[in-house]
Amino acid sequence: MEIWINPACSKCRGALTLLDAEGADYTVRRYLEDVPAPDEIRAVLDRLGLEPWDITRTQEAVAKELGLAAWARDADTRERWIEALAAHPKLIQRPIITADDGTAVVGRSEEAVRDALGRRA
């Protein structure tokens, strides 16, 4: 399993603490430094079963600068959202845990992290 984190994020640190406590085997990806390419974002969205606007931190300053609140949330603008996430990774909700069974979760709660742990192969 892989977890996309921002080390400054308390939710990310909490998820790592829980993964460690459960003895999980995982890889850390500091996604602000190791920025996911659009194809990787698409793959994670598929695993999450979500759309790019569902994992976008719309309250970030850059979201306001880009005017994301006014962007359409439909198939025609999906790629625009993905490109924005790749260009501005701070917009990506965190932590994202890719589970061993091919799915993923946004691990913002202990329950979500435990859900990912339960998906181990």
The per-residue b/e assignment along 32-46, b for 16 or more CB within 10 angstroms, e otherwise, is beebbeeebbbebbe
**CB of 56 closer than 8 Å to CB of 31:** no
> Which residues is 61 bridged to in the sheet?
none
Amino acid at 29: R
Q: Is 9 a catalytic residue?
A: yes
Q: Indicate which residue of 9, 32, 35, 62 is catalytic.
A: 9
| Helix (H), strand (E) at residue 5 | strand 2-5
Residues with active-site annotation:
9
